[in-house]
Structure 1
């Protein structure tokens, strides 16, 4: 409402719900405007039912005004006006000034502004748009450096990979590559689709694929067995491996292997992470403190998504604490029911056996592990359960052996590193629980919170005795778990002795050279078992999400993926 300041002026002279006499002339003086404009203001406020304006008949009788609003109503209207102008931060800031009752009124109104709606484009075409609020998050949309599920989710919308892995069928689906073949698992030939366009208009070339893969570190999973990449022509390239690896194509299905345009990457450098260019179904058209905006890419080579536009509004966590829907909305209708979904992956404690000290002794590690009681780490009210593996299904099949009787241990002060993923998302709570459990056996400790940059720095990580953290697995559970086991950028492998690192590499080679899925999993679980029995790792708990899902709704595929987010490209609506 454009007359907020005049409504505020009225509160300086009149009490709400009290009938008081006045004149247009007196109000014009208070408003500091003309009498003609004052009449316009009065008519507007009366139409909004904010005031009652009564004109009495008879000479000398003054009109009377009755206010039906207070300061909080004005603030509420101001907040709504800013939200409608898409100045969300100013609107949310104003809402924080009102009482709980008015905040609830705002939430009720705001729910009607978000969700899946239809809007008109600049040329009056009807567009289907999804708009929803989300807490502030600093995104890294460079696939190679993505570190959170938020990053991965956006990357999946903006970029494309050569292939995509489907865990339900344990198969690879063509994407940019329409066909691939191999010779003894060592020579992999990929054939690319013609005329795949990036968002900036250029057609994708096999050189873009080569440049994407060569950005990876030489000791990364995707490159450590890679001898060279041979570009045959603009749609054909060959990956030459040093050793046979039948999982290699699945490495190319990882989000981090999403194809980037070589020219834009060279031009933008580090700026690419906040203004990415891909060839996926959506292109990023806005990313600022107010919102993230995606729009359907008209020249997408694949099936065009049903949603034309997605707007993710930046809102404070305090405001979002009341939201229940996976989109952080209320359930759209009564057909939506509350459910609980577990993540694949687990929280864990890693014991550093490379640091000089008592943890290099296997008996000391064994006794220390006896003091660790995983049920204490589980938030049972949030549905968490004890983990004994990275995979929930495996944890459910293993006996829960817990022995809390620890032998006498050398009394030392241990250093605990708690993993920080982003601001307000860390494993400090779990580190404190561990600290208290160790105190019961006379072991004292110090806790430091390590940022991603710090815990990925081996020199920093090796200074700690214990690392408390967690990891969630991508859609390809096996490959994601293997990456956790062997990656120098993850906290496990750098803290293991040389002999154990060598054993891991030997087992991973066997897994990659096997063409049998069951055998691959058996070898992986054997690896997990060995690490647990040698007391290098203790699994703590599996996490999950409380979400709403539709039993019978017009909207299809509004469900959480492995990132705990909704894949926009899959959403569509049934006709009425």
Structure 2
């Protein structure tokens, strides 16, 4: 490594392609090393064809050095070597000293090396390796914020049950069976012989402790009365009221079962970065270079075919231009492009907890200032939304959403609004992490309000502070992505999730109606009836101007038409489920 550092100094001092007279003493002074070591360094550089060293004998004759590479050339070579040695962080650091042109060259080379998704065979191990920008993963199920967090949690942990999107049913996971006679008392029966990654046996007590911890969350604290463990493989939940969809709550990523002994030993902060679960993959490396998952050989279920997953921590500079969690482009012509719509939506909430929005007429007037099409005009890969569900958006008309333009002449609208609004409107923009937020959307809203003479202030609202601080804002600009169990995601969005619509509804009649209808959904045993209740509730929220839907996100993803790895495909969120990949030949 010291040789390479010396080479970098030489390329910085001597220009490329010119014969320069020098001396061992001069090079020794430049490299801060002994004349003897200088000769070894120069010999190394000559062997690597990085330079030519001509030492001529005779009085008055001086050695000559000719650099075959520039500093940029050398940094490029060295960065490529670091990547090939899996020292990715070193490679990216080297590129910080390179010119912008060479940084772009390296980016093009780096992305091509992986074709963005790369399968390798190493020592009879099937390895899945790909670059991924660093999002500051939080892998404690209780505190997960983003789809990236949830994706990793899905691989490392297990839940009592899993939701199968193809059959639209729950399937066994840690629990092989579950039952309830009254919708209040639920019994879950665990498989035997389940172990966490650190070797401890998973029992009903781990389930109880995990859920006692989760009862801090809004979603669970109003549902569970108490939990008992009749045996080491039986868990009994007693709920506050009838809830026939309760088992579906337990398929959420937040309901993953964790070993409390590890959590207590290392603390929550450390557990977020180095989690221990019972899932098909265990985390073995999490550093500046990569995140490594390795197949858990003692997994109680079906072992994953892929032995190892290496996720390369890639700086923003080397991301693809595509808006995807993966640095995704078509690796070759065997892959075909597929445009998909992400279920969920961006929206504006009107908070009737404030004096401005507590009046339905004022909410209505503000709503008339907002033009949905202007949000799509400024943002690519988005389509108009009229619901959280894309299918429902397609069937809803602009009339059902209150119209697409002001129903009052602009002058009349300004006059009415100015009589009702006597201070700047406070807008909260949802923030998931430092570089993932809805401020650009809030700024489009701010400009539309400004056009009618309405002043506003935008402030970032971290999702973890939503319940504490939302009461201070008139409008909330945010978005949610629905999970695979869409119905449960919608129920959670209304009451109990990280971003809960109910927190913006304090008007007694509407809030009572919301809670009543949610309870009805939980008491129904048929999904069709639950969906009918939900759609009527969503209609009410729109017509009473509590929510205004803006857009659905779309993604362009690629699927292999003919590939020797089966199930190597990306879902609508650009993620690969490592558990499903298998090899044909």
Q: Could you tell me the TM-score, scaled by structure 1's length?
A: 0.89
Alpha-carbon distance, 1:322 to partner? 4.5
Matched, 1:298 2:297: yes
1:503 aligns with 2:513: yes
The corresponding residue for 1:467 is: 476
User: 1:428-487 CA deviation, whole Å, 9 max, x = no partner?
Assistant: 111111112122333221111112233231xx2112111111111111111011101012
The answer for the alignment partner of 1:404 in structure 2 is: 406
Asked if 1:116 is matched to 2:127, the reply is no
Alignment partner of 2:214: what SS? coil
1:546 counterpart SS class: strand
Distance 1:57 1:221, change over 3 A: closer
| 8 A Cα contact 1:352 1:465, kept in partner | yes
Q: How does 1:225-264 map to 2 (within 5 A)?
A: 225-264=223-262
Q: Which residue of 2 aligns with 1:284?
A: 283
Is the Cα–Cα contact under 8 Å of residues 474 and 563 in structure 1 kept in the other structure?
no
1:151 corresponds to which residue?
A: 149
Per-residue deviation, 1:246 = 1.9
Partner residue of 1:423 out of 409, 412, 434: 434
2:449 pairs with 1:438:
yes
Q: Deviations over 1:397-439 (max 9, x none)?
A: 1112323234422243311111111112111111111112122
Query: How far has the Cα of 1:172 moved from its partner?
Result: 0.9
Alpha carbons of structure 1 residues 518 and 242: separation in structure 2 relative to 1, 3 Å: same
Listed as ranges, the matches of 1:65-464 within 5 Å are: 66-84=66-84, 86-111=86-111, 114=114, 115-118=117-120, 120=122, 125-217=123-215, 220-271=218-269, 272-322=271-321, 327-328=326-327, 330-355=329-354, 357-378=355-376, 382-401=380-399, 402-406=404-408, 407=413, 408-409=416-417, 410-413=420-423, 414-457=425-468, 460-464=469-473
Distance 1:33 1:317, change over 3 A: closer
CA RMSD of aligned residues (A): 3.0
Alignment match of 1:514 (pick from 524, 533, 536): 524
Q: Deviations over 1:25-73 (max 9, x none)?
A: 9877876767876665455434433335679999999886543211112
Q: Secondary structure at the match of 1:221?
A: helix
Question: How far has the Cα of 1:159 moved from its partner?
Answer: 0.4
Residue 244 of structure 1 aligns to a residue whose secondary structure is coil
- Quote the Cα distance in structure 2 between the aligned partners of 1:48 and 1:283: 41
Partner residue of 1:476? 485
Q: In terms of mean alpha carbon deviation, does 192-201 or 370-379 score higher?
A: 370-379
8 Å CA contact 1:370, 1:403 repeated in 2: yes
- Distance in 1 (alpha carbons) for counterparts of 2:325 and 2:133: 13
- Give the 3 Å change call, closer, same or farther, for CA 314–565 of structure 1 in structure 2: same
Structure 1 CA distance for aligned equivalents of residues 113 and 457 of structure 2: 48
Consecutive unaligned residues in structure 2, runs of 5 or more: none
Residues of 1 paired with 2:562 and 2:534: CA distance?
39
**Structure 2 vs 1, CA of residues 563 and 29 (structure 1 numbering), >3 Å: closer, same or farther?**
closer
> Matched residues in 2 for 1:285 and 1:512: separation?
40
Between 1:137-146 and 1:5-14, the stretch displaced more is: 5-14
Matched, 1:572 2:570: no
Change (3 A) 1:330 1:399: closer
Confirm or deny: 8 A CA contact 1:412 1:444 kept in the other structure: no
CA contact (8 A) 2:197 2:296 kept: yes
Kept in 1: contact 2:219–2:497 (CA 8 A): no
1:540 — aligned with what? 550
The equivalent of 2:16 in structure 1 is 16
In terms of mean alpha carbon deviation, does 332-341 or 243-252 score higher? 332-341
> Matched residue of 2:517: which SS?
helix
Task: Tell me the distance in 1 between the aligned counterparts of 2:82 and 2:232.
Answer: 49
> Structure 1 pair 49/336, CA: closer, same or farther in 2 (3 Å)?
farther
Task: Report how far residue 493 of structure 1 moved.
Answer: 0.8
Q: 2:541 aligns with which of 506, 531, 534?
A: 531
Alpha-carbon distance, 1:505 to partner: 1.6
CA contact (8 A) 1:421 1:452 kept: yes
Question: Which runs of 5 or more structure 1 residues have no equivalent in the other structure?
Answer: none
Structure 1 pair 145/375, CA: closer, same or farther in 2 (3 Å)? Answer: same
CA contact (8 A) 2:281 2:295 kept: yes
Output the CA distance in 1 between the equivalents of 2:224 and 2:6.
Answer: 71
Conservation of the 8 A alpha-carbon contact between 2:186 and 2:238: yes
Contact kept, 8 Å, 1:246 with 1:513, in 2: the verdict is: yes
Displacement, 1:296? 1.6
Q: Distance in 2 between matches of 1:361 and 1:204?
A: 53
Alpha carbons 2:54, 2:63 under 8 Å: kept: yes
Native 8 Å contact 2:356 2:474 kept in 1 = no
Give CA deviations for 1:265-299 in whole Å, capped at 9, x if unaligned: 33334232222211001112222333322222121
Cα distance change, pair 3–528 in 1 and its aligned pair in 2 (3 A)? same
Q: TM-score when scaled to structure 2?
A: 0.88
Structure 2 CA distance, aligned partners of 1:148 and 1:13?
Answer: 47
Aligned residues: 568
Aligned-residue offset at 1:99: 2.6
CA–CA distance in structure 2, aligned partners of residues 488 and 45 of structure 1? 61
**How far apart, in 2, do the equivalents of 1:42 and 1:488 lie?**
64
- How much has 1:188 moved relative to structure 2? 2.3
Shift of the 101–435 alpha-carbon distance from structure 1 to 2, 3 Å rule, reads closer
- 8 Å Cα contact 1:218-1:224 kept in structure 2: no
